[in-house]
Amino acid sequence: MATSQISLVFQSFRPKTLSAAVVPVVVGSVASYSIFREFNQLVFWCCMLGSVFIQIGTNLANDAADFKKGADGADRKGPLRLSQSKTFRPETVMWMATFFFVLAILVGIPLVQIGGPTLAVLGLISVALGYAYTSGPLPLAYNGLGDFFVVLFFGVIAVVTTIYLHSGFWTPEGIVLGLQVGFLSATLIAINNLRDIHEDKKIGKKTMAVRFGVTGSRWKIATYFYLPYFFCTYWLIPHYSHAAVLPFFALFVSVPIVNKIFSTEPSPEYNKFLALASLHTFVFCLLLMIGLYIK
Q: Please state, rounded to an integer, the average pLDDT across all residues of the chain.
A: 86
pLDDT score at 251 = 96
Percent of the chain with pLDDT over 70: 88
Q: Render pLDDT for 94-129 as a digit per residue (tens, 0 to 9).
A: 888 889 999 999 999 999 999 888 888 888 888 887
| 136, pLDDT greater than 70 | no
- Closest-CA residue to 73 (of 61, 83, 62): 83
Q: Give the end-to-end CA distance of the chain in Å, rounded to a whole number.
A: 50
| 131, pLDDT greater than 90 | no
Q: Where are the alpha helices (DSSP H) in the chain?
A: 3-12, 19-36, 41-68, 82-85, 90-115, 117-132, 146-151, 157-167, 172-195, 197-203, 208-230, 241-245, 251-263, 270-294
Span 23-48, average pLDDT: 93
Percent of the chain with pLDDT over 90: 48
| Residue 242 CB contacts under 8 Å (≥ 6 apart), including other chains | 235, 290, 291, 292, 294, 295
Phi and psi dihedrals of 46, rounded to 5?
-70, -40
Measure the CA–CA gap between 197 and 96, rounded to whole angstroms: 27
| 72, pLDDT greater than 90 | no
Span 184-195, average pLDDT: 91
Q: Render pLDDT for 191-234 as a digit per residue (tens, 0 to 9).
A: 989 998 888 888 777 888 889 999 999 999 999 999 999 999 99
CA 212 to chain centre: 21
At residue 16 the predicted structure's pLDDT band, cuts being 50, 70 and 90, is confident
pLDDT score at 70 = 59
Measure the CA–CA gap between 62 and 111, rounded to whole angstroms: 27
Span 31-48, average pLDDT: 93
Q: Render pLDDT for 153-168 as a digit per residue (tens, 0 to 9).
A: 889 999 999 999 999 9
| 79, pLDDT greater than 80 | no
At residue 85 the predicted structure's pLDDT band, cuts being 50, 70 and 90, is low
| 71, pLDDT greater than 60 | no
Structure-model confidence comparison of residues 8 and 284, the more confident one:
284
| 75, pLDDT greater than 60 | no
pLDDT score at 119 = 85
At residue 2 the predicted structure's pLDDT band, cuts being 50, 70 and 90, is low
pLDDT score at 139 = 72
Span 222-250, average pLDDT: 92
- Give whole-number Cα distances, 44 to 153, 216, 283, in Å: 17, 38, 21
Query: What is the 8-class DSSP label of residue 69?
Result: T
Q: Render pLDDT for 259-281 as a digit per residue (tens, 0 to 9).
A: 999 999 998 899 899 889 989 99
Span 25-30, average pLDDT: 94
